[in-house]
Amino acid sequence: MSALRNLLILFFASLLASCGQVKDSAPANYSKQWHEIPDAVPVSVEPSKYGNPRSYEVFGKTYYVKDSAASFQQKGIASWYGNKFHGERTSSGEEYNMYAMTAAHKTLPIPVFVEVTNHDNGRKAVVKVNDRGPFHEGRIIDLSYAAATKLGVAKTGTANVSIRVVSTKVEEKRQRSAAIVESPVSDGDKLYVQVAAFTTEENALSHLGKLQGEGFSDVRLHIESKKGKALYRIRIGPLPSEHVAKQVLAQLKQNNHKNTKIVRNN
């Protein structure tokens, strides 16, 4: 079944990849004004059985689907797709509906809800990501025609945007329960990169989610007692070698994480 699932996602991704090669078009009789189009409403959804392979390939490039969407943010160019794919099956298994508030993204787990901000005109919209694409250099999200209309992208074709994942309360609770928690620290002599320390669990979990959203794996929450109070340390590991730890440290610093350090638990 996993091989079939991967074949399906590659097939659907290939269909979307053709969006930039074969001329697409807008619907002929769409009369809604941008301010009349409601946002998608974030709800708790189960991950797609077909749309989340560990990786897939389009145009010779391999894309790796993220394990978590928590705290994900991104800036880049948005485009849109319409008539050509209306009624076709999306990567999530749903039919593509150009009148619905949906979108395609290359690596976010699907389905997921994101807020898109058009920095060219200040408009914002919430969409449901249920498809893969766009496979053009620099483009980060492909909007449905309705979403593109609401954001003012339908007329311009592309726009400078930022996106951020919108979580439901149920999903936030699920993310917290999925966090790897170790208390007290008793791992023996193991190597970690410590990213931050907090005095409240809420702040620690928020930072943990941010790291996961940046693509870091094996992010752990270590809970210690210091002078009778809990201290929540965010660490990545255990890591297999000093060399790997230094690579993780470099990536964290590149992502503007300060006060990071390599630690060993004795």
Q: What is the pTM of this model?
A: 0.59
The answer to whether residues 135 and 217 belong to one domain is no
| Residue pLDDT, tens place only, 143-176 | 999 999 999 999 999 999 999 998 765 455 555 5
Position 207 in a domain:
yes
Of 69-78, 111-120, 234-243, least confident by mean pLDDT is 234-243
Position 149 in a domain:
yes
Position 252 in a domain:
yes
Q: Which of 52-56, 222-226, 227-231 has the highest mean pLDDT?
A: 52-56
For residue 109, what are its two tokens? 């787990």
Helix, strand or coil, per DSSP, at residue 171 = helix
Confidence grade of residue 17 (pLDDT, cut at 50, 70, 90): very low
Confidence grade of residue 265 (pLDDT, cut at 50, 70, 90): confident
Distance CA 38, CA 40 (A): 7
The answer to whether residues 48 and 140 belong to one domain is yes
Q: At which of 110, 134, 167 does a domain end?
A: 167
The answer to whether residues 79 and 207 belong to one domain is no
Instruction: Respond yes or no on whether the N-terminal peptide bond of residue 184 is cis (omega within 30° of 0).
Output: yes
pLDDT over 50 at 3, yes or no:
no
Of the chain, the percentage scoring pLDDT greater than 70 comes to: 83
The answer to whether residues 208 and 153 belong to one domain is no
For residue 164, what are its two tokens? 């951020």
Q: At which of 134, 167, 200 does a domain end?
A: 167
Position 174 in a domain:
no
pLDDT over 70 at 142, yes or no:
yes
The answer to whether residues 99 and 206 belong to one domain is no
Instruction: Respond yes or no on whether the N-terminal peptide bond of residue 111 is cis (omega within 30° of 0).
Output: yes
Mean pLDDT across 254-261:
90
The answer to whether residues 162 and 184 belong to one domain is no
Position 232 in a domain:
yes
What per-residue string of b and e applies to 244-259 under the rule 16 or more CB within 10 Å gives b?
Answer: ebeebbebbeeeebee
CATH number of the domain bearing residue 123: 2.40.40.10
Distance CA 48, CA 236 (A): 28
The answer to whether residues 30 and 87 belong to one domain is yes
The answer to whether residues 80 and 119 belong to one domain is yes
Residue 10 parent element (H or E): helix 2-17
| Residue 236 structural domain | 179-265
Identity of the residue numbered 12: F
182: CB partners within 8 A, 6+ apart: 220, 221, 222, 223
> Which phi and psi angles does 43 have, rounded to 5°?
-135, 160
CATH number of the domain bearing residue 237: 3.30.70.1070
Q: Contact at 8 Å (CB) between 44 and 170?
A: yes
The answer to whether residues 30 and 143 belong to one domain is yes
Specify the long-range contacts of residues 119-124, CB closer than 8 Å, at least 24 apart.
119/159, 119/160, 119/161, 119/162, 120/152, 120/156, 120/159, 120/160, 121/151, 121/152, 121/159, 123/34, 123/150, 123/151, 123/152, 124/151
Mean pLDDT across 217-232:
82
The answer to whether residues 145 and 196 belong to one domain is no
Position 172 in a domain:
no
The answer to whether residues 61 and 118 belong to one domain is yes
Position 124 in a domain:
yes
pLDDT of residue 169: 53
Mean pLDDT across 178-207:
73
pLDDT over 60 at 262, yes or no:
yes
Helix, strand or coil, per DSSP, at residue 180 = strand
Structurally, the chain folds into a number of domains equal to: 2
Distance CA 37, CA 56 (A): 33
The answer to whether residues 140 and 187 belong to one domain is no
| Residue pLDDT, tens place only, 209-218 | 888 888 887 8
Q: At which of 144, 167, 190 does a domain end?
A: 167
